[in-house]
């Protein structure tokens, strides 16, 4: 049994990065890959290992294999911040496969550790990030299910360009000298890459004095995924309004929206949106085509 002075450690609400339009420049930042997984926290004390979700739910039983791996760390007590991921064949985090793996293949999960808040009876949150990460890296053995999230080398602009070209979600930039404070913080900035994908158009939402939105669904399933601001030129907008009016249809089952004109199937939209989100976020409709003609 571990000896940590009998202190029962508690979940610490996480530090949350602020969304940025571009990564910060300068030597005062480190840049890490933004993982497409579940933000989580490992807590170890003399009572054993627990793994918490971002909101503080105890999901140790769901992550038994990771809890077992964490129990092999050579520490008396610790609180580690990180992300639970499922890696694909290319070694990149895959959110869709992650949800399946939690119940079907828990032995395929990894915990990507990126910060250390407590170690062997000492609260480290007032220590600079760079020092906390040095201590974290030193305690994690290579090749295990618990892995250290290494900093990406190079300048911020080049790093983000490579991440974007690789089709990954984005990067998180952190001030090297920052302390750890729960809640939203500008000491950590996340810069997310965008993707362009096709979705079925369910309808159009138009209200006077407000931006117009297209109601989007996953192709072929009718599953609502979110809204996309209609960013079309005047000619294309008119063609869209005409198509919607001429082929109006009933609202999809289970989807209720005010001020929406629904359209029959066949309208497909090209949407630019943030990568790594379960639904559409910061999405714009760039183009559309009619497959019903």
Q: Which residues of 79-100 are buried (b: 16+ CB within 10 A; e: fewer)?
A: bbbbbbbbbeeeebbbbebbee
pLDDT tens digits for range 227-241: 999 989 999 999 999
Q: How does DSSP classify residue 263? A: B
235-265 residue pLDDT tens: 999 999 999 888 888 887 777 777 789 999 9
- Domains of the chain from N-terminus onward: 15-192 (3.30.470.30), 194-290 (2.40.50.140)
- What pLDDT, in 10s, does the model give residues 40-92? 999 999 999 999 999 999 999 999 999 999 999 999 999 999 999 988 776 77
- Can you point out the beta strands (E) in 120-164? 122-123, 146-148
Tell me the C-alpha distance between 43 and 172, whole Å. 23
Measured between alpha carbons, how far apart are the two ends of the chain, in Å? 71
What is the Cα 290 distance to its own chain's centre?
Answer: 33
């Amino acid at each position: 049994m571990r000896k940590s002075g009998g202190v029962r450690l508690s979940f610490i609400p996480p530090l949350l990065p602020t969304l940025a339009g571009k990564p910060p420049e300068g030597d005062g930042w480190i840049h890490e890959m933004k993982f497409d997984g579940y933000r989580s926290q490992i807590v170890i004390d003399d009572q054993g290992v627990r793994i918490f979700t971002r909101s503080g739910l105890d999901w140790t039983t769901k992550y038994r294999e990771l809890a077992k791996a964490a129990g092999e760390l050579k520490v008396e007590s610790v609180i580690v911040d990180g992300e639970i991921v499922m890696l694909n064949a290319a070694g990149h985090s895959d959110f869709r496969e992650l949800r399946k793996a939690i119940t079907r293949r828990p032995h395929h999960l990894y915990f990507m550790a990126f910060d250390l808040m407590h170690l062997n009876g000492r609260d480290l949150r007032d220590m600079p990030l760079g020092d906390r990460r040095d201590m974290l890296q030193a305690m994690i053995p290579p090749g295990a299910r618990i892995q250290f999230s290494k900093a990406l080398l190079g300048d911020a602009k080049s790093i983000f360009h490579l991440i974007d070209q690789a089709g990954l979600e984005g990067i998180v930039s952190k001030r090297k000298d920052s302390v750890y404070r729960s809640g939203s913080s500008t000491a950590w900035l996340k810069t997310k890459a965008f993707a362009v994908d096709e979705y079925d158009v369910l309808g159009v939402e138009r209200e006077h004095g407000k931006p117009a939105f297209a109601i989007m669904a996953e192709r072929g399933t009718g599953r609502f995924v979110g809204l996309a601001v209609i960013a079309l030129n005047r000619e294309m907008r008119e063609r869209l309004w005409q198509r919607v009016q001429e082929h109006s249809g009933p609202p999809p089952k289970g989807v209720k929206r005010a001020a929406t004109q629904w359209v029959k199937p066949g309208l497909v939209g090209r949407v630019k949106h943030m990568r790594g989100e379960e639904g559409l976020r910061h999405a714009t409709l760039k183009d559309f085509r009619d497959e019903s003609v």
